[in-house]
Structure 1
């Protein structure tokens, strides 16, 4: 089972240095409150380090991934994911099997842009952010690494 990272952009475009903008484009996070799911690797970790003041990330569990996938829509028809859509497009029998295959690393969500609208668009967190978005999470802020607590943020943003 591979470790999946949920990455959410929490700051906007204004005043962003060009090299951070390029990194955010590579991570496919062009706008505020966009989210993507990647497998944990050294190249992704390097990009996270560069774009750290503009994003927050952590390890996704199965519940957090299911919540994120509820916001995923098809490219053709703008439909939410159902078992019928998964059978016709990806030849996967059920939604739960789709989630399991993503968690196991058999399917990479960021490579399914032919079928789904990526990045995943989220709402601002209900109740707002608990800290300042220009401080690290470790110092009662919001940006940077937050571990398993990313799932709580996703729950508030879906």
Structure 2
């Protein structure tokens, strides 16, 4: 009688089961994607640190530039006074324009100009670069707007307090420099201070910076408007060019 030898049973833990090739490829792809994400995150952190240092250096440079300009203005005024002359400031580079009247009974041409200026609502405000063309446009819509030359404090307060950016046609608050860098980084505008400087000095990328800024939504001025909006500012009304007095109005509306 032949006795069959017992077959050795291999435990489940000792068996080697090969994973399907598709699963191996999926794992490999996932690991590669994870490594790429980690590398991108590290690169982004390095870029943020670098841009933060650049922003601090630029802000310091801007402060020195503004101070030098202010001191030069004072020197020129004193020189003119000592010579018995009058000091005439340089022509404004930037206007801040505010819409003060509605759309009732408005002709098609002024309506179109207000749309081009993005002044679609009462108390909307925008920065406009001063050129011959823009001055002609402002004169045509003067009954519906008031404008003037903003100083550095006004530009900074508007952007910091009321500033919103246009990102993918949406109104996004300027809560971080990354928002500005993503939209205007290709124009070397990386921070809020870069944006302020570009607007205030009417820099080479003023158009892109101004279009990025959503029209400012201001409140009614403290104490209300003057009694007659349809009169020019110099005649006791509100419309037209009020030059440096625009800064007082903006503070009342901010």
TM-score range, shorter chain: 0.7 to 0.9
Q: Is the 8 A contact 2:148 2:242 kept in 1?
A: yes
1:101 aligns with 2:101: no
Give the secondary structure class of the aligned counterpart of 1:133: coil
Cα 1:5/1:21, change in 2 over 3 Å: same
Whole-angstrom distance in 2 between the partners of 1:27 and 1:8 = 10
1:75 aligns with 2:166: yes
1:85 aligns with 2:193: no
Q: Is the radius of gyration larger for structure 1 or structure 2?
A: 2
Instruction: Please list the CA deviations of residues 40-71 of structure 1 after superposition, one character each: whole Å capped at 9, or x if unmatched.
Output: 11100101111010000111111111122131
Q: Is the 8 A contact 1:74 1:81 kept in 2?
A: no
Give the secondary structure class of the aligned counterpart of 1:127: coil
In structure 2, the partner of 1:13 is 103
Q: How far off is 1:120 after superposition?
A: 1.8
Aligned-residue Cα RMSD (Å) equals 2.2
Greater strand content:
1
Q: Report the TM-score, using the length of structure 1 for normalisation.
A: 0.85
Residue in structure 1 matching 2:251, options 135, 143, 155: 155
Q: How far off is 1:103 after superposition?
A: 1.8
Greater helix content:
2
Q: How far off is 1:81 after superposition?
A: 4.3
* 1:14-33 → structure 2 map (5 Å cutoff): 14-33=104-123
Structure ranking higher on relative contact order (CA contacts 8 Å, 6+ apart): 1
Q: Is the 8 A contact 2:174 2:180 kept in 1?
A: no
Name stretches of at least 5 consecutive residues in structure 2 with no aligned partner: 1-89
Q: Report the TM-score, using the length of structure 2 for normalisation.
A: 0.55
Name stretches of at least 5 consecutive residues in structure 1 with no aligned partner: none
Size of the aligned set, in residue pairs, is: 156
